[in-house]
Structure 1
């Protein structure tokens, strides 16, 4: 009887926790849809950039938190998506086709370079992906069809047929709709059988391979999927700004995505959104601080690196699992005692 009662109580706690999470998710969706109606233009710009960063960070969290692969080159895939959408649109193709092609081309590019790169592990893989971004930035600054250092300008607004977006609020809804799609895809991936295989892969590639998991294929697929997320964000970014150049995708942006994922909580979908929000708002505050009279020209980059380092140290020391796992830990169902599980005491 005690065992049945304990199991019933645990089931009620789990059901209550699930209902609370569903309610919290519905509230978050309602707030996300309502905010563009009340924010001014400057706040809307931050809101759009926050959503774009969250899209990329979800892919980083999936890649690092579940597959155990470290990438410092997500900014490269972000740029590939942006340039793909911009080039197609400037050459007469519909903007919708450009936006659809952006994640596909980014994923294809990631799959091609991933076949040799994913033979590396740990910091070797991180440095290799960083090198890829540096090479792409150098090429984009020299090739004529990418506009060189000047970049591509006068990119048409996103639209379907004769309808075009004409305001930041529309781009905010597009961005957060894309984020919802990315979160939904990621949720289905991590709760599926391949998701369990990814967890095993992150724990030990040798053990996963001995269990029959095709390690190389899974690593390549999740690498390409995270790149597709970044490419989608890059496609929206090019239409929103109407301009892309090598300077739009600095190396610091890839480091920023890593910091966002770690701060929010690696291996969690909502953690990526929370981390992106926290770091984006922090960066905006630092930019305003760096713009104050008397601040040197190098203040923005110096402040960014210093604060990123400080934030990482604080999170590693006091919140090693990130913000979201630390805040939701109390919602986990209580463990049943040994007696309630039918296990005799010591």
Structure 2
């Protein structure tokens, strides 16, 4: 963790070196990293696969957007985003976390599809058109209206969720989570409240996604159900697996690696002469190839495998 603190000034200097287009990619990368940190904890310690993590990003985004449009101070609207997403996770987590394996994965996927359907038909959420004209985030009377501003907001958010995740893993609860990761039956026999801990991690991971969604709403200034497709949830899973489950550093590395590779291929796919479906096809190909490579060569993920190297 000390090395991570030393790296903060270096990362903080990165936005100053980027072009406007690269700054946008940097902000989106950071938002993905915030969500993937929570998903990595959920999959690595609670052993639960969520194929609907983007639904909590959407809940956070719409919470902030709707509150801001109804004249709530933007900072308070942003603070409400992780709270709403975490509470939603608790409500839906009580019944669905009784499921295991692929049943839970499909249940989380179904939740996202239901949420997107509701948002697409709800007049209060703007329907299929979505929410438009969202205000900029403002802090202490200072309006954040530039990509550079949001780059540093995202950096603060990534640092915050990383610190929370690190201290959670290294707390008494974290010891119970590590026991849960090695085996549910053994952890339960040792007195670990398996159900409560699993629900806690589910809620924390959702809150991280909600915070990312809240920042996203102010950054983009526009929200629609199409902003949170199922493919986005799959992308989060790929990032978590590639970097290494249960590792904060792995989540950050996985998010950075996948985002950069996809962005490079998207740039290639939009060159003159490329078919219109090329970006989607290349994105799916990247996810598939990365997962295959990780399973074959670094099944624990990149960061955990590097730590185990002699």
Superposition TM-score tier, normalisation by shorter sequence: over 0.9
- Which one of the candidate residues 71, 76, 98 is aligned to 1:97? 76
* 8 Å Cα contact 1:69-1:121 kept in structure 2: yes
Deviations 1:55-103 (Å, cap 9, x if unpaired)? 0000011000111111111100000000000000000000011110000
What is the CA-CA distance between 1:152 and the residue it aligns to?
0.5
> 2:11 aligns to what?
32
Correspondence 1:203 to 2:179: no
Correspondence 1:170 to 2:159: no
What is the CA-CA distance between 1:198 and the residue it aligns to?
1.1
Aligned length: 310
> 2:47 aligns to what?
68
TM-score, scaled to structure 1: 0.87
**Matches of 1:290 and 1:97, distance apart in 2:** 40
> 1:18 aligns to what?
none
* 8 Å Cα contact 1:80-1:106 kept in structure 2: yes
> Which structure 2 residue ranges, 5 or more long, are not aligned?
none
**Matches of 2:293 and 2:140, distance apart in 1:** 49
3-state SS in 2 of match to 1:69: coil
When structure 1 is superposed on structure 2, of 160-169 and 131-140 the one drifting more is 160-169
What is the CA-CA distance between 1:245 and the residue it aligns to?
0.5
What is the CA-CA distance between 1:212 and the residue it aligns to?
1.5
> 1:7 aligns to what?
none
> 2:197 aligns to what?
218
> 1:300 aligns to what?
279
1:307-326 matches, cutoff 5 A: 307-326=286-305
1:100-249 matches, cutoff 5 A: 100-249=79-228
What is the CA-CA distance between 1:214 and the residue it aligns to?
1.2
**Matches of 2:302 and 2:199, distance apart in 1:** 29
> 1:86 aligns to what?
65
**Matches of 2:6 and 2:23, distance apart in 1:** 20
What is the CA-CA distance between 1:161 and the residue it aligns to?
4.2
Deviations 1:244-297 (Å, cap 9, x if unpaired)? 111100000000011001111111110100000000001101211221222222
What is the CA-CA distance between 1:41 and the residue it aligns to?
0.6
- Which one of the candidate residues 233, 238, 254 is aligned to 1:259? 238
Aligned residues: CA RMSD: 1.2
* 8 Å Cα contact 1:68-1:203 kept in structure 2: no
